[in-house]
Chains A and B, each alone.
Chain A
């Protein structure tokens, strides 16, 4: 087992917590002193930086949400003068004002280190050829992955997203060994490979590091079987730093959070109460080394659990379970929480059914209805109506038993559900609520 930074990654927890406390205290002091919005929030609840005497005191601090970033658009939460900011990233702002994040050169360095750790953890090295098919630009995925892959010393192919035929041609000709993109794009690449008559087992590809959207264990199996690779889950969000916040090791038993840079907590998304280890809830992250944009107790909306036990791989950092879904991606139908990943899992358990699906929620009269669109692949297509209807019925029965609500399944033509080169859109909510 090799580590990128053994001292940090395998630091005994006691020592790690001391480091975390010192860094947390610094961060809170800086945020309070230099960011009026943080000072105001802390004053409101009557907490001062010197009140943070132990790691547990973190729960005295107020939460930060996406709305806080929007309210302080664009640079209101920055803790350094703009002359120290060397990079700005931003969300697309499709659901409101964009959220803007900034980095000092030390932040960029931290990020590259985290990504290098992640890549190393997933088996990449200076001998690797890493293809970065995350979008380059305002989105943190592309550049974040790029800097990490360069830091490792790999040969980086910055293909960015899109132009899938060319992506695959380069993958073949440049002998890509690691692919970085969203899991849904990886599956789309597989489809295009098939169309191009390329057998994935003829490629040099050995691993994929996939993130930026929640994906199920079944989806992992599907990708691994189809592309003949090892698929690793990477976690991150631009508000915290970008990709590289957490990564799976080859045990694939949870994602190691870079705890020397972030403090994770799990809370009940309704009551905001901090939950204990192993309980499922919303992940809250605090950055403890970020200079330009320190973020205190950020509500990620991602639902997971934490495991503080030392991993078999030797790393001591807390592991978060694969993200089950987002509390805002979740749709509540007749009081039942439904995540797209649950639908995905069910579909992948039915032979021949592919994970291309769309949840359409609508309100008919006073009743919410869930319709799941599922593509008919050649494998499951039959010329007999009876068989097609029983396929639809089987899918809806299995969905109903997994989700606990009535589901109408609509069989749609192959390749008509939009393929995404970035984050896949899985839910259309037509209710006006």
Chain B
């Protein structure tokens, strides 16, 4: 379980630079990010060192922001590692909205951020199947 910060951005020059500057000046470190873009707008998704503060400073800077629950899954850092996690999710019919990689590792594992439709069910299944995921405080401190 972790909090992701999502930001609505128009496709305009300098918007991404502005978001990252605002976070930088607030002393917030970006740990993972992804952008989903369309022709008019993009949605920036961030895992940061301090999500509550990031939410506030971005809101103060007049961005449209929301907090989203995601799950940071430990994936064996070897060929087929992600595939086996995804296959188990498919088997359980756990649908994934989107995913992206985390910058950094946990022991021998890579980290992948998942946004799933039903997060509590996902957690239950991960626990049953022995798929490891990080609690939020560990994640922000990585």
Q: Which secondary structure dominates where chain A touches chain B?
A: loop
Total chain A interface residues with beta-carbon distance under 8 A = 19
With a cutoff of 8 Å between Cβ atoms, the chain B residues found around residue A416 in the complex are 10
Which of B25-33, B59-67, B77-85, B121-129 is the interface stretch? B59-67
Closest beta carbon of chain B to A399's beta carbon, Å = 16
Distance between A76 CB and nearest chain B CB, rounded to angstroms: 48
CB atoms of A414 and B62 under 8 A apart: yes
Cβ–Cβ < 8 Å partners of A386 in chain B: 97
Quote the shortest CB–CB distance from B39 to chain A (angstroms). Answer: 9
Contact A381 B8 (CB under 8 A): yes
Digitize B28-72: 1 where CB-to-A-CB distance is under 8 Å, 0 elsewhere: 000000001010110101000000000000000011111010000
> Is A413 a contact partner of B10 (Cβ separation < 8 A)?
yes
How long is the Cα–Cα vector from A416 to B8 in the complex, in angstroms?
12
Q: Are A384 and B97 in contact (CB under 8 A)?
A: yes
B residues in contact with A385, CB < 8 Å: 36, 38, 43
Interface residues of A in 350-385 (CB under 8 A from B): 376-378, 381-385
In chain A, residues 95-137, which have Cβ atoms closer than 8 Å to a Cβ of chain B? none
Specify the chain A residue showing the minimal Cβ separation from B15. A413
CB contact between B64 and one of A378, A389, A392, A410 (< 8 Å): that residue: A378
Contact A412/B65 with A383-B115, A385-B36, A385-B43 known, Cβ cut-off 8 Å: no
Whether A378 contacts B66 in the complex (CB less than 8 A), given A383-B115, A388-B43, A413-B10, comes out as yes
Which one of A376, A411, A415 lies within 8 Å of B62 (CB-CB)? A415
Are B64 and A377 in touch, CB under 8 angstroms? yes
Contact residues in A for B10 (Cβ distance below 8 Å) = 411-413, 416
Given A376-B64, A382-B66, A384-B98, A414–B8 Cβ distance below 8 Å?
yes
B74 at the interface (CB under 8 A from A): no
- Check B68 against A383 for contact (C-beta < 8 Å): yes
Report how far A256 CA is from B81 CA in the complex, Å: 75
Establish whether residues B65 and A378, one from each chain, have CB atoms under 8 Å apart when the complex forms.
yes
Given contacts A381-B6, A412-B10, A388 and B41 within 8 Å (CB-CB): yes
Given the contacts A388-B43, A389-B38, A410-B40, A383 and B6 also touching, CB distance less than 8 Å? yes
Complex alpha-carbon distance, A385 and B34, angstroms: 12
In angstroms, Cα B36 to Cα A376, docked, is: 16
Given contacts A381-B66, A385-B36, whether A413 and B9 have CB atoms under 8 Å apart is yes
Interface size class of B (residues with CB under 8 A): 20 to 34
Within the assembled complex, what's the spacing in Å between the Cα atoms of A377 and B59? Answer: 11
Chain B residues contacting A413 (CB-CB under 8 Å) are: 8-10, 15, 62-64
- B63: chain A residues within 8 A (beta carbon): 413-414
Q: In the complex, what residues of B have CB within 8 A of residue A382's CB?
A: 6, 66
Interface string of B81-112 (1 = CB under 8 A from A): 00000000000000001100000000000000
Q: Which residues of B contact A383 (CB under 8 A)?
A: 4, 6, 43, 45, 66, 68, 115
A412-429 to B contact mask, C-beta < 8 Å, 1/0: 111110000000000000
Chain B: minimal CB distance from A411 (Å): 5
Return the contact of B8 from the options A376, A389, A392, A410 (Cβ within 8 A). A376
Determine the residue in chain B with the shortest Cβ distance to A371.
Answer: B40
Please, which residues of chain B bring their CB within 8 A of the CB of A412?
Answer: 10, 41
> Across the two chains, which residue of chain A brings its CB closest to B59?
A378
Minimal Cβ-Cβ distance residue in A for B115: A383
Residues of chain A within 8 A of B6, CB atoms compared: 381-383
User: CA of A242 to CA of B112 in the docked complex: distance in angstroms?
Assistant: 64
Would you give the shortest CB distance from B70 to chain A, in whole angstroms? 9
CA distance A255 to B66 in the complex (A): 43
Nearest A residue to B40, CB-CB: A410
Q: Which residues of A contact B66 (CB under 8 A)?
A: 378, 381-383
User: Which A381-415 residues have C-beta < 8 A from chain B?
Assistant: 381-386, 388-389, 392, 410-415
Interfacial chain B residues near A414, Cβ < 8 Å: 8, 62-64
When the two chains form their complex, are residues A381 and B64 in contact, meaning their CB atoms are under 8 A apart? Answer: yes
Inter-subunit contact A411/B40 (CB<8 Å): yes
Q: A-facing mask of B1-33, CB < 8 A → 1, else 0?
A: 000101011100001000000000000000000
Please name 24 pairs of A and B residues whose Cβ atoms are closer than 8 Å in the assembled complex, sorted by A.
A376-B41, A378-B64, A378-B65, A381-B6, A381-B64, A381-B65, A382-B6, A383-B43, A383-B68, A384-B98, A385-B36, A385-B38, A385-B43, A386-B97, A388-B41, A392-B40, A410-B40, A411-B40, A411-B41, A413-B9, A413-B15, A414-B8, A414-B62, A414-B64
Chain A residues packing against B (C-beta within 8 Å): 376-378, 381-386, 388-389, 392, 410-416
B residues neighboring A (CB under 8 Å): 4, 6, 8-10, 15, 36, 38, 40-41, 43, 45, 62-66, 68, 97-98, 115
9 cross-chain pairs, A with B, having the tightest CB-CB distances, nearest first: A383-B6, A414-B64, A385-B36, A383-B68, A381-B64, A376-B8, A413-B10, A410-B40, A376-B64
